[in-house]
């Protein structure tokens, strides 16, 4: 059973929606503890009415003592194996606790599960939660601390987006009379955990209110939070040096922020107090953290310790210097790799890669399957971090390496033709590929077989990077011959929309679509493959899913299907039709290589919608949620499926 503790004070406008969202959880074994903290509005009667209607609800009426005291009262009353907190003006999505408790029950060595949250303005009466996918990720102790002191800090410090085993709160309580009460306790229970679980689904809806405690007590808020930060610094002073350094960096940065806000509000007394606290903590920490703290951050704190004015005068020049040095180093590095790549292209032996035309004619004649490797696939294969539409996966890395070295009959492995002299490329493409090869050529060559014949990845990218664009019409004509009179099944990202608005697949007999996530498609790999294998074995499968398509083409080939990785073919064709001279965004199509190219609206085209036979974006490892409606009407939603809302 889960004990859900709800502190309540002057939230009558939002309380019914809050209580109903807890009642309507798909996990029904709940003890709902409503703590009326002396609220002088209609909250008490609302609580009593709900308690009469639902035996799971317990109401405690008490004199006003603040949020901490209310939560502590709830902890004393709680009898459940698990503890959760919900603020009286917030709401939670129906499947929040079912997912969290199920994971904890399957993993007895983990004591805390955590979800994302979404902030909603006070006057907003609708919310959009289209939860398409999400998996629990288990974080180890080092990762917990690293993220706790990162830009993800807020998710870790709050208590209401988590589900706890009861043992966490056996001795721990919130400090009475303090604001930012979460700051005083969260680091203590998080530090004790070897692991916690986190799911990337915003199950919790947090309302930002002008009448909230934090909004009305700004000065006290700064001082209380600073006191919590001081206690945290003292706690971590006895821990590992690296952990203490992370705490110093985050905590002192927060104190500087509170100081500046106090000055901005004209509260000189509070600002002076905060500055003295900063000096005390920095003087205690600076020698210890000197080796671990980034140089620019050390310089920033040192300047601020001299005076606020010194910091304002000196730091802009320091940042300009740092920026100039970094840009100069990056430029030198890029030039080095460019000339190294250009030299190696002449001197080194290159893999045997056939031309685009030879590749296309081979596919037409032999009905081959195709896995394509570009710069991104190499980086994923080599385990090189990159910011993109696909996250890193060790399994994906091993599969890409396996397929690159494979020799399956009638399956073509394609490589980018960026290894040799690149006179046929545009200047921009030459700079990119010479630089890339100067940096990664040795590693890529080690993944290849010297005597093997490879085919051309640019078979689906025959336009933008080439100087001579007169060859492109023939290349696209050859591409269209591959699917002429064939039943085509497109497996694409949900916003790729291959062939929509052009005649790319006009020669195909029929076109059907399986939609997969636009981002992190590999996390759905088994589901995508399973759905694909249920379709016509004689159809032609065209795949556009980044590195997922490279792997899927190989696996579908081994089921007796013809599968071709055609990533970017539609975008290249759009650029060809427009005679574009540079990469541009295409309306309502996902173009990851262009700024604003990922902002796609919903497509209501009748033909396109009729072609969709499966949408894997709407399936996930958590129960699926789509809710759009008035937050305050949450209580009016009818119960379905035996009392469980929105159960997939």
Domain residue ranges in the chain:
2-213, 218-306, 352-603
pLDDT at 7 over 70: yes
pLDDT at 629: 37
* Mean local confidence (pLDDT), 142-158: 92
What percentage of the chain has pLDDT greater than the value 70?
89
Cross-strand pairs, 60: 35
Structure tokens at 168: 């966490």
Given the DSSP bridges, would you call strands 136-140 and 195-208 parallel, antiparallel or unpaired? antiparallel
pLDDT, residue 628, reads 34
| pLDDT score of 441 more than 70 | yes
Which tokens sit at 539? 């159809």
Neighbours of 357 (CB within 10 A): 15
Work out the average pLDDT over 50-78. Answer: 95
- pLDDT over 60 at 211, yes or no: no
Rounded CA-CA distance 607/500 in Å is 9
Task: Please tell me the distance from the alpha carbon of residue 625 to that of residue 91, in angstroms, as a whole number.
Answer: 14
Q: How far apart are CA 134 and CA 150, in angstroms?
A: 22
What is the CATH superfamily name and number for domain 2-213? Answer: Spore Coat Polysaccharide Biosynthesis Protein SpsA; Chain A (3.90.550.10)
Find, among 368, 351, 350, the residue nearest to 359 by Cα. Answer: 368
Q: Return the pLDDT at 626.
A: 34
Assigned token pair, 136 = 């629990």
61-75 average pLDDT score: 95
Instruction: Please say if the pLDDT value at position 160 is more than 90.
Output: yes
According to the model, what pLDDT value does residue 209 have?
66
Cα 215–Cα 220–Cα 224 angle in degrees, nearest 5: 110
Mean pLDDT of 336-343: 94
Percentage of the chain exceeding pLDDT 90? 68
Residue in the structure block whose two tokens are 């991104």: 376
Dihedral (C-alpha) 222, 223, 224, 228: value to the nearest 10 degrees? 100
pLDDT tens track for 238-264? 999 999 999 999 999 999 999 999 998
pLDDT band at 280 (very low <50, low <70, confident <90, very high): very high
Q: In this predicted structure, what is the pLDDT of residue 103?
A: 93
Answer whether residue 594 shows pLDDT above 70.
no
Contacts by 335-342, CB closer than 8 A, 24 or more apart:
336/438, 337/434, 337/435, 337/436, 337/438, 337/439, 338/431, 338/434, 338/435, 338/438, 339/434, 339/438, 340/438, 340/439, 341/433, 341/434, 341/435, 341/436, 341/437, 341/438, 341/439, 341/441, 342/434, 342/438
pLDDT (tens digit, 9 = 90+) per residue, 283-292? Answer: 999 999 988 8
Using one digit for the tens of pLDDT, what is the confidence trace for 390-425? 777 888 999 999 999 999 999 999 999 889 889 999
pTM, rounded to two decimals: 0.65
* pLDDT of res. 165: 96
- Residue 133: what pLDDT? 53
Q: How far is CA 6 from CA 73, 108, 454, 475, 569, in A?
A: 10, 26, 63, 65, 54
Task: Give pLDDT tens digits for 94-105.
Answer: 999 999 999 999
Distance CA 358, CA 187 (A): 61
Tell me the average pLDDT of the chain. 87
Supply angle C-alpha 169, 170, 174, rounded to 5.
45
Among 28-32, 391-395, 590-594, the minimum mean pLDDT is found in 590-594
Q: What is the mean pLDDT of residues 49-65?
A: 95
In three-state secondary structure terms, 372 is: strand
> What is the per-residue pLDDT for 602?
67
Burial of 87 (0-12, 13-18, 19+ CB in 10 A): buried
Per-residue pLDDT, averaged over 188-204, amounts to: 93
pLDDT at 88: 93
Q: How far is CA 422 from CA 167, 445, 448, 581, in A?
A: 64, 18, 20, 18
CA atoms within 13 A on the CB side of 518: 13
Q: Which of the four pLDDT bands, split at 50, 70 and 90, describes residue 632?
A: very low
Separation between Cα atoms, residue 105 and residue 93, nearest integer Å: 20
Query: Kind of pairing, strands 625-630 and 126-131?
Result: antiparallel
Most confident listed range (144-158, 201-215, 356-370): 356-370
- First vs last C-alpha separation in the chain: 23
């Amino acid at each position: 059973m889960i004990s859900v503790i709800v502190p309540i004070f002057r939230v009558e406008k939002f309380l019914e929606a809050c209580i109903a969202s807890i009642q309507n959880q798909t996990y029904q074994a709940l003890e709902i503890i409503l703590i009326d903290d002396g609220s002088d509005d209609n909250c008490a009667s609302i609580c009593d009415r709900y308690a009469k209607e639902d035996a799971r609800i317990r109401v405690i009426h008490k004199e006003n003592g603040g949020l901490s005291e209310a939560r502590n009262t709830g902890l004393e009353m709680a009898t459940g194996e698990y503890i959760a907190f919900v603020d009286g003006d917030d709401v939670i999505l129906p499947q929040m606790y079912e997912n969290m408790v199920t994971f904890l029950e399957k993993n007895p060595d983990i004591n805390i599960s955590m979800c994302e949250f979404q902030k909603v303005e006070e006057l907003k009466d609708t919310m959009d939660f289209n939860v398409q996918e999400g998996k629990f990720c288990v974080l180890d102790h080092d990762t917990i601390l690293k993220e706790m002191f990162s830009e993800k800090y807020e998710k870790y410090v709050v208590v209401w987006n988590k589900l706890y085993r009861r043992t966490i709160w056996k001795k721990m309580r919130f400090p009475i009379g303090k604001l930012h009460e979460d700051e005083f306790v969260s680091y203590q229970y998080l530090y004790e955990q070897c692991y916690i679980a986190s799911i990337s689904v915003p199950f919790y809806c947090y309302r930002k209110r002008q009448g909230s405690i934090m909004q009305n007590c700004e000065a006290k808020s700064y001082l209380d939070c600073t006191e919590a930060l001081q206690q945290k610094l003292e706690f971590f002073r006895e821990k590992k040096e690296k952990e203490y350094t992370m705490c110093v960096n985050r905590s002192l940065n927060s104190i500087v922020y509170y100081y500046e806000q106090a000055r901005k509000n004209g509260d000189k007394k509070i600002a002076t107090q905060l500055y003295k606290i900063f000096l005390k903590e920095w003087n205690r920490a600076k020698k210890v953290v000197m080796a671990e703290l980034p140089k620019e951050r050390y310089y920033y704190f040192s300047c601020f310790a001299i005076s606020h004015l010194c910091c304002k005068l000196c730091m802009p020049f320091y940042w300009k210097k740092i920026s100039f040095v970094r840009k100069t180093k990056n430029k030198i590095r890029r030039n080095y790799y460019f000339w190294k790549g250009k030299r190696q292209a002449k001197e080194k032996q290159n893999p045997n890669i056939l031309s685009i035309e030879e590749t296309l004619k081979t596919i037409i004649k032999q009905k081959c399957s195709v896995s394509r490797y570009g710069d991104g696939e190499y980086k994923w294969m080599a385990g090189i971090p990159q910011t993109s539409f696909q996250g890193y996966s060790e399994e994906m890395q091993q599969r890409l390496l396996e397929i690159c070295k494979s020799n399956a009959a009638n399956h073509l492995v394609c490589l980018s033709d960026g290894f040799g002299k690149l006179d046929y490329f545009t200047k921009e493409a030459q700079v990119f590929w010479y630089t890339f090869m100067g940096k990664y050529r040795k590693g890529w060559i080690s993944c290849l077989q010297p005597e093997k014949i490879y085919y051309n990845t640019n078979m689906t990218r025959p336009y933008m990077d080439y100087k001579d664009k007169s060859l492109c019409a023939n290349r696209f004509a050859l591409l269209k011959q591959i699917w002429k009179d064939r039943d085509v099944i497109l497996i694409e990202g949900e916003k790729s929309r291959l062939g929509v608005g052009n005649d790319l697949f006009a020669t195909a007999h029929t076109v059907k679509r399986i939609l997969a996530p636009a981002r992190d498609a590999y996390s759905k790999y088994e589901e995508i493959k399973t759905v694909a294998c249920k379709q016509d074995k004689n159809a032609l499968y065209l795949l556009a899913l980044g590195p997922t398509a490279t792997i899927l083409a190989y696996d579908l080939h081994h089921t007796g299907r013809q599968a071709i990785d055609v990533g970017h073919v539609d975008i290249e064709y759009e650029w060809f039709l427009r005679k574009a001279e540079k990469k541009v965004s295409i309306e309502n199509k996902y173009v990851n290589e262009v700024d604003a190219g990922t902002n796609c609206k919903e497509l209501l085209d009748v033909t396109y919608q009729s072609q969709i036979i499966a949408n894997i974006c709407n399936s996930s490892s958590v129960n699926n949620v789509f809710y759009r409606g008035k937050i305050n009407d949450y209580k009016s939603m009818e119960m379905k499926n035996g009392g469980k809302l929105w159960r997939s």
